[in-house]
Amino acid sequence: MKAIRIILQIVILSAFSMLGEAVHHFFHLPIPGSIIGLILLLTGLSFKMVPVKLIEDGAGFLLSFLPLLFIPAMAGVINYPSLFSGNGALLMLIVVLSTIVTMVAAGIASQWLEQKAAKRKEKKKCNSHLSQSL
């Protein structure tokens, strides 16, 4: 039963991607259709038009296979050793620094969101105590 739910959720995620592609082709936008689909999905999740439960298991399943999608790209780089001959060290430095910046930014953003959620939870708790005392 869980496999069927995961398949249906992946179909829903694919539908958002196809919708993004359709918007891309219809309006001739410079943004890729897959990114437009992600923006549409984010908008639907933000405004609670799409419940998280509707895509949660399917998204988790796809994320578990995400590293496999990068292996062909890395294998393709091996076919072009000229990329690393002259500026290889500089390229590696850029990759390492951008990875560190990304990790720091993600950490700061997650801490900020966690603090915001904790404040919201505390405010909700205080409001419930006030309403009970009245």
Q: Please give the average per-residue pLDDT across 96-118, as a whole number.
A: 93
Residue 110 has pLDDT above 90, yes or no: yes
Per-residue pLDDT at 23:
96
Ramachandran angles phi, psi of 84, nearest 5°: -100, -5
Q: Whole-angstrom Cα distance, residue 58 to residue 11? A: 9
Q: Whole-angstrom Cα distance, residue 13 to residue 64? A: 15
Q: Which two tokens stand for residue 82?
A: 């000229």
Element (H, E) at 5: helix 2-27
Residue 116 has pLDDT above 70, yes or no: yes
Mean pLDDT in the chain? 87
* Whether the Cβ atoms of residue 34 and residue 23 lie closer than 8 Å to each other: no
**What residue type is assigned to position 10 of the chain?**
I
Per-residue pLDDT at 95:
84
Q: Could you tell me which of 109, 5, 113 has the C-alpha nearest to residue 59?
A: 5
Q: Whole-angstrom Cα distance, residue 134 to residue 122? A: 19
Q: What is the pLDDT of residues 14-47, one digit of tens each?
A: 999 999 999 999 999 999 999 999 999 999 999 9
Q: Is the pTM of this model over 0.75?
A: no
Read off the pLDDT band of 134 (50, 70, 90): low
User: Any idea what DSSP says for residue 54?
Assistant: G
